[in-house]
Amino acid sequence: MSTNAIAQSVSELANDKNWWRGSVIYQIYPRSYQDSSGDGVGDLKGITERLPYVASLGVDAIWISPFFKSPMKDFGYDVSDYCDIDPMFGNLDDFDRLIEKAHSLGIRIIIDQVLSHTSDMHPWFVESRASVNNPKSDWFVWADAKPDGSPPNNWLSIFGGSAWQWDGRREQYYLHNFLTSQPDLNLHNNDVQDALLESVRFWLDRGVDGFRLDTINFYFADKELRDNPPLPKEERNSSIAPSVNPYNHQKHIYSKNRPENIEFLKRFRALLNEYPAATSVGEIGDAQYGLELMGEYTKGNDRIHMCYTFEFLSSELLNAERVKSVFQKLTESAPDGWPCWALTNHDIKRHTTRWDLDEQGRRLYVLLMMCLRGSVCLYQGEELGLPEADIAFEDLQDPYGIEFWPEFKGRDGCRTPMVWDSQKNNGGFSESKPWLPVPEEHLPLSVNEQDKAGDSLLNYYRAVVGLRKQHPALAVGEQSDIAVSGNVVTFTRTLDNTTMYCAFNISKEHATLDLPDGDWELFGGQLGAVIESHENQVMLGPNQALLAEKH
């Protein structure tokens, strides 16, 4: 690409403030994408090396999971320095080069911000725990024990056990919604908010285009530290925590989801608005109130741009009725909100395995997601159809899986290295032993194998991303209410004078449907799946879709 072309591409990125609406974002888990240094761990230089591949997918942006300095007890989600790179991933110069290369290819960079908690090795916490009266003594959530020495309340950690850890220095408990080595920040303190926002500004000034906000609904804890009420068994949902975890036994109305969050999000958005094309996507970790919180957090133009919840990440199969119910609830709870849909990520069992999908099922679900109102997030390896890896206990790295093994095997099965070349050691990820093993069954699905096959799943993903780009109605158009007939989901997307009709047979049976009145142009070939058509009646095969357009 010429210097002038690069400059034009960068200029376009900087000036398009609404690029995030309808965007397709590709999540990269840096430990597992590409190792350039030979130590068995992926790094920033490796990501830069693979950016031409990312560009070939046609996505708008990449979201990179944490690469900040960290003791890596939770693989980077325990930050010890918000403004520096952990040496295992490289350095700030490597990150600058990554941004420059990505922008030259028309790809924006979204980074993970973990603002609800730090590592216990962060200097803020080291100072805070030193005494009850130092300048940062209330930068974290501290509380006295009950008279009998037990924790201040009944709050539970997502990683198991009490959410409170005793600290002998202060003779108090501190709150940790995750690992004991991840103390929760006290955002009731404005100094804490200021410090976090300054770290956000650091990366904006460095050229990042947006932030994925980890556990956005965990920022505040109830000032009065009231007990969470119990959650009836019939309402429990294992999408946030596995059923073996007692975390599912509570309604977490005091340990998270607090109303004070709104004002902080407004401060965050005001900072982003100083940078015309910066965006944000929040992760809402809640099984009961996710869509309601999406409505609150994305309402208007002064909060988060978009959020994702766990409706499509659930172990419950995404059938026709479930798709309809999710959108009905979304319309009620967040009529003006902007969702970001995902089928899988670095915390969830890969959907190929989770829903036991065959090849046609994998194609159907990504096409469905590309046609829905909202933005889309793809997770590395999803485009290859990688199944969940079965990691032996002796190879396990995830503390979550180690805690609940064997009933829950943790998150390592979806974090194994990307497979690039079936003929190379470790699938082309690294010349050294990788931090997680590369499953043999992943090698035939590698990029080099699928690049050669025109009808591969990888090339299908490229085609459906391209479809969304070619038809703006699918990206940003209005969406009609979702209708269900048997196992078939139908809806329309409309923009200006163009209407797209979308129908998905989410079943393993044939289905017949009647097209609405109008002069429809049916999509054929790779993206359409019309088996038989007679006048306005169409036959769909198992797990097949139909798209049609009229002007």
Q: What is the mean pLDDT of residues 430-452?
A: 98
Residue type, 195: A
Task: Give the per-residue pLDDT at 366.
Answer: 97
DSSP 434-476: PSS---GGGGGGSHHHHHT-TTSHHHHHHHHHHHHHH-HHHHH
Task: Give the per-residue pLDDT at 387.
Answer: 98
389 falls in which pLDDT band (50, 70, 90)?
Answer: very high
DSSP 230-291: B--GGG--TTTS-TTSGGGGB--SSSS--TTHHHHHHHHHHHHTTSTT-EEEEE---SSSHH
CATH second-level architecture of 3-116+187-221+256-470? Alpha-Beta Barrel (3.20)
H helices of 68-154, in order, are: 92-104, 123-128
Looking at 173-177, 227-231, 332-336, which range is the least confident one?
Answer: 332-336
DSSP 470-536: H-HHHHHSEEPPPEEETTEEEEEEEETTEEEEEEEE-SSS-EEEEPPSS--EE--TTT--EEEEETT
Domain with CATH 3.20.20.80 in the chain: 3-116+187-221+256-470
Q: Residue for token digits 């290819």?
A: 105
CA angle 169, 174, 180 (to 5 degrees): 100
Task: Give the per-residue pLDDT at 241.
Answer: 74
Burial class (CB in 10 A: 0-12, 13-18, 19+), 53: middle
As beta bridge partners, residue 175 has 164
Domain with CATH 2.60.40.1180 in the chain: 477-550
For residues 175, 181, 187, 192, the Cα torsion angle rounded to the nearest 10 degrees is 140
- Residue 530 pLDDT > 50, yes or no? no
As beta bridge partners, residue 61 has 25, 108
Burial class (CB in 10 A: 0-12, 13-18, 19+), 382: buried
Q: What is the mean pLDDT of residues 337-356?
A: 96
522 falls in which pLDDT band (50, 70, 90)?
Answer: confident
CATH of 477-550, one of 1.20.120.1760, 1.25.40.10, 1.10.3720.10, 2.60.40.1180: 2.60.40.1180
- Residue 526 pLDDT > 60, yes or no? no
CA separation for the pair 518, 177 (Å, rounded)? 54
Residue type, 405: W
Instruction: Please give the DSSP secondary-structure letter assigned to residue 356.
Output: T
Task: Give the per-residue pLDDT at 269.
Answer: 98
Task: Give the per-residue pLDDT at 6.
Answer: 53
- Residue 358 pLDDT > 60, yes or no? yes
Cα dihedral sign for 176, 179, 183, 186? negative
Task: Give the per-residue pLDDT at 537.
Answer: 84
- Residue 525 pLDDT > 50, yes or no? no
521 falls in which pLDDT band (50, 70, 90)?
Answer: confident
- Residue 456 pLDDT > 60, yes or no? yes
Q: What is the pLDDT of residues 287-339, one digit of tens each?
A: 888 999 999 999 999 999 999 888 899 888 999 999 999 999 999 988 888 99
13 falls in which pLDDT band (50, 70, 90)?
Answer: confident
- Residue 144 pLDDT > 90, yes or no? yes
CA separation for the pair 330, 337 (Å, rounded)? 8
CA separation for the pair 172, 168 (Å, rounded)? 7
* Strand arrangement, sheet containing 164-167: 142-143, 172-175, 164-167
- Residue 242 pLDDT > 90, yes or no? no
CA separation for the pair 508, 492 (Å, rounded)? 23
- Residue 418 pLDDT > 70, yes or no? yes
244 falls in which pLDDT band (50, 70, 90)?
Answer: confident
- Residue 531 pLDDT > 50, yes or no? no
Task: Give the per-residue pLDDT at 121.
Answer: 98
239 contact partners, CB below 8 Å, separation of at least 6: 287, 310, 313, 314, 315, 316
The SS3 call for residue 362 is helix
Task: Give the per-residue pLDDT at 533.
Answer: 58
Residue pair 403/160 in contact by the 8 Å Cβ criterion: yes
Q: Residues with catalytic annotation?
A: 214, 274
Q: Residue for token digits 């960079």?
A: 109
- Residue 2 pLDDT > 90, yes or no? no
| Exposure string over 505-532, b if 16+ CB within 10 A, otherwise e | bbbeeebebebeeeebeebeeebbbbee
- Residue 7 pLDDT > 60, yes or no? no
Q: What is the pLDDT of residues 251-281, one digit of tens each?
A: 999 999 999 999 999 999 999 999 999 999 9
Q: Residue for token digits 């990520």?
A: 345
CA angle 409, 342, 179 (to 5 degrees): 40
- Residue 200 pLDDT > 70, yes or no? yes
What average pLDDT is seen over the chain?
Answer: 94
Q: What is the pLDDT of residues 480-516, one digit of tens each?
A: 999 999 999 999 999 999 999 999 999 999 999 988 9
